[in-house]
């Protein structure tokens, strides 16, 4: 490998590192919630209003991110993986809301307040989380 090739390669590696940083970094205002061991991690999270949260299924099974319709700010839009318009619709089509292992779902929290959400298949075992936007 000559010196020029080496420099080119280094540049590419550096770009990749920076891109990875931007994707998961808090510097951009983004935040990530994992789903390992049938839990949302972290279970509670406080973000700035307008933050896009990435829910990352870093586990081996499918999960949903489904808001409790009565436990989000009154003027906030309903949200659920699968883009359902209501909690009832989400519950009626569990497979339609599944985030497969390795996949992500994102939601932007535009309205300040407290948002409680859960995973439909694992609600009974306590797979629930809370996000506060302020």
Residue found by looking up tokens 């951009």 in the block: 28
CB of 35 to Cu ion, least distance (A): 6
Name the residue nearer to Cu ion (CB basis): 127 or 133. Answer: 127
Name the residue nearer to Cu ion (CB basis): 115 or 118. Answer: 118
Name the residue nearer to Cu ion (CB basis): 74 or 124. Answer: 124
Residue nearest to Cu ion (CB): 119
CB of 122 to Cu ion, least distance (A): 3
CB of 57 to Cu ion, least distance (A): 9
CB of 42 to Cu ion, least distance (A): 16
Name the residue nearer to Cu ion (CB basis): 35 or 133. Answer: 35
**Contact residues for Cu ion (CB under 5 A)?**
63, 119, 122, 127
Q: What is the strand order of the sheet 31-34 is part of? A: 31-34, 51-56, 104-109
Residues near 128 by beta carbon (within 8 Å), at least 6 away in sequence: 40, 43, 116, 117, 118, 119
């Amino acid at each position: 490998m000559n010196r020029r090739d080496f420099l080119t390669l280094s540049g590419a590696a550096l770009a990749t590192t920076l891109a990875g940083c931007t994707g998961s970094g808090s510097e951009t205002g983004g935040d990530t919630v994992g789903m390992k061991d049938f839990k949302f991690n972290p279970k509670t999270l406080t973000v700035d209003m307008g933050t896009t949260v990435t829910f990352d299924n870093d586990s081996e099974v499918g999960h949903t991110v489904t808001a409790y319709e009565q436990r989000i700010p009154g003027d906030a839009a309903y949200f659920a993986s699968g883009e359902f318009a209501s909690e009832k619709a989400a519950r009626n089509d569990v497979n339609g809301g599944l985030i497969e292992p390795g996949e992500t779902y994102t939601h932007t929290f535009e309205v300040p307040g407290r948002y409680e959400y859960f995973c439909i298949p694992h609600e009974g075992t306590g797979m629930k989380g809370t996000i506060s936007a302020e």
